[in-house]
Amino acid sequence: GENVEQHPSTLSVQEGDSAVIKCTYSDSASNYFPWYKQELGKRPQLIIDIRSNVGEKKDQRIAVTLNKTAKHFSLHITETQPEDSAVYFCAASTGGTSYGKLTFGQGTILTVHP
């Protein structure tokens, strides 16, 4: 089955700096790669996703890049703010007309210092 590895496990940055979180996946059939932000005791909140037919997607301060050949994808957050502090998870699944199970990475605790 799919295996998703996420690094780093913790990331500490100063407000205004950029943060990068990286994930690798093992199943070449995976074609849907979402990123979630999760606050303690809450459901995961989708912040951005990308499908395997594109290499990059951007939404304001957040961007995701995908390298299908190397089977890795990354989350980039620019101009970080204290409210960006949370746990971030990458995930992978097979999408399309019938979505398969979502496999999550181990998570990254992001701390943005004012």
Verify binding: residue 58, another protein, rule CB under 8 A. Answer: no
Verify binding: residue 41, another protein, rule CB under 8 A. Answer: yes
Give the 3-state secondary structure of residue 82. Answer: helix
Cα(106)–Cα(23) distance, integer angstroms: 9
Number of Cα atoms under 13 Å in the Cβ half of residue 75: 29
Verify binding: residue 8, another protein, rule CB under 8 A. Answer: no
Q: Minimal distance in Å, beta carbon 104 to another protein?
A: 5
Structure tokens at 45: 């909140």
Verify binding: residue 12, another protein, rule CB under 8 A. Answer: no
Of the listed pieces 13-21, 22-30, 72-80, 88-96, which binds another protein according to CB under 8 A? 88-96
Residues whose CB falls within 8 Å of the CB of residue 41, separated by 6 or more in sequence, listed in order: none
Cα(44)–Cα(90) distance, integer angstroms: 11
Q: Minimal distance in Å, beta carbon 16 to another protein?
A: 27
Q: 63, 68, 71, 95: which one contacts another protein (CB under 8 A)? A: 95
Verify binding: residue 49, another protein, rule CB under 8 A. Answer: yes
Using CB under 8 A, count the residues that bind another protein: 22
Q: How many residues are recorded in the chain?
A: 114
